[in-house]
Amino acid sequence: MSLPATRTSPLRWGVNYTPSQSWFHSWQDFDIDAVRADLESIASLGLDHVRIFPLWPLLQPNRTLIRPQGIADVGRVVDAAAEFGLDVSVDGLQGHLSSFDYLPSWVTSWHRRNIFTDPEVVAAEAQLITALATEVSARPNVLGMTLGNETNQFAVERHPEQHVTTPAQMGEWISTLLASVRNVWPEGMHQHSFDDNVWFVDSSPVTPTHAATLGDVTTVHSWVFVAVAHLFPQGHPARTLFADYLLQLAAAYAEDPQRPIWLQEIGAPYPVVPFDGAADFLEQSLRPVLDTPNLWGVTWWCSHDVSRKLADFPELEYTLGLLDSERKVKPAGKRLAELIAAEKVNPTAPAQRSTAVSFDPGDLATGVGRSVADPAGELFRSWLERAASGEKPTLVRSAKTGDTAYLAARGITQVVS
């Protein structure tokens, strides 16, 4: 019988790096001194890593042209991070960021091609991933690569210019790009990322099985403004327990009970979270997840506010930073720094969750049936009732409830329907 999963190394604390000057457009007018100042302000909070987002159209403006200077600039950011004791995870295909899409011109408009299924496009994407990995992999402070930021958004029905694909095709796309990065960087920690449509929307071509089996870790992006805030009022525990629920859902879909989970994005979006409530929301959302045995780390979104000089962002994007656009620490940044300092002195001990709420996710291959886990459903409400009472429940797929070795590996001794 295998032993329950337990954390074997200290929890990692990081932030998604949003440059304070010109946001991600700063890659076009690269200023390493501004980057260093940003990274120094990040390191002052006690964080140990950043996730960075070079823009795909700037790196690969033509299908057969990868700009050497663009790739070199990514390496320079990694080197600058090392000066301040920060590790770096590099995203590849940007992709989608803060409501804006960044696709190169050779897959849009008159040259529109499917970014997931067109063989020449996929080959070019693999070449870019390979170039990035080749540039940074030898540096000692790089963690690995994420294929891109929430790339599934291009394939969902709500996207205005949907790139239609099937779950089988999406699995092949993810596997192809992961293989390309592993080919040159086998020792890195590589993964893909997605929004919570993957967990809740039956038609999403990226499935929970893709999420929990492809790549070295399962990434979780927890945003309460998508559904939870519309269902539960201000002050309801559903809002601050949502990240924990997503982590437990990720654990339930993994075949390997030891598989790491990375809370790769979580933020305090205004006006769902009031300005004066951001620090409390941060702490109340993070404390419940800290005892998760296979939690690799927490990476807050984001480092610096988007400057008010930039137009047309959704309102929440201007206020998500731990620091403002002048690099001044905000209350949420101060609270996170205090939490990190306290955890370094007296870390929360990993703890198994002995009670699991079971659910039937439907067809794992297509993801049809996953909507049973939607926050509007009975599964979430059942889990939430226990979690809000302090019970610390997890989740388990009904197909696993008779697997005694699996239950033991997760520390589950009681299953409730």
* Spatial contact of 63 and 121, defined as CB atoms under 8 Å apart: yes
Contacts of 246 (CB under 8 A, 6+ apart): 196, 199, 220, 222
**pLDDT at position 109 over 50:** yes
**pLDDT at position 5 over 70:** no
Q: How many helices (H) and strands (E) does the chain have?
A: 13, 12
**pLDDT at position 232 over 90:** yes
| β-bridge partners, 261 | 218, 295
Give the DSSP letter of residue 307: P
- CA–CA distance, 120 with 111 (Å, rounded to integer): 13
* Main-chain dihedrals φ then ψ at residue 415, nearest 5 degrees: -115, 130
- CA–CA distance, 281 with 277 (Å, rounded to integer): 6
Contacts of 374 (CB under 8 A, 6+ apart): 200, 227, 380
Angle, CA of 177, 183 and 184, to the nearest 5°: 110
* Spatial contact of 122 and 176, defined as CB atoms under 8 Å apart: yes
Tokens 């797929």 -> residue: 397
- CA–CA distance, 55 with 60 (Å, rounded to integer): 9
pLDDT digits (tens, 9 = 90+) for 261-305: 999 999 999 999 999 999 999 999 999 999 999 999 999 999 999
Two tokens, residue 299: 């990476």
Note if the bond before 95 is cis, omega within 30 degrees: yes
* Spatial contact of 283 and 339, defined as CB atoms under 8 Å apart: yes
CB atoms within 10 A of CB 348: 16
- CA–CA distance, 44 with 375 (Å, rounded to integer): 36
pLDDT digits (tens, 9 = 90+) for 27-52: 999 999 999 999 999 999 999 999 99
**pLDDT at position 7 over 90:** no
What pLDDT, on the 0 to 100 scale, is given for residue 95?
85
Two tokens, residue 123: 């080959």
Tokens 């951001």 -> residue: 278
Hey, what domains does the chain have and what are their CATH numbers?
A: 12-349 (3.20.20.80)
Do the bridges between strand 414-416 and strand 355-359 make them parallel or antiparallel, or are there none, so unpaired? parallel
| β-bridge partners, 53 | none
pLDDT digits (tens, 9 = 90+) for 301-320: 999 999 999 999 999 999 99
Instruction: Give residue 265's identity as a one-letter amino acid code.
Output: E
What pLDDT, on the 0 to 100 scale, is given for residue 1?
27
pLDDT digits (tens, 9 = 90+) for 189-211: 999 999 999 999 999 999 999 99
Phi-psi region of 9 (alpha: psi -120 to 50; beta: other; left: phi over 0): beta
What pLDDT, on the 0 to 100 scale, is given for residue 9?
81
Question: How far out from the chain centre does Cα 118 lie?
Answer: 26
Tokens 């437990």 -> residue: 248
- CA–CA distance, 108 with 93 (Å, rounded to integer): 15
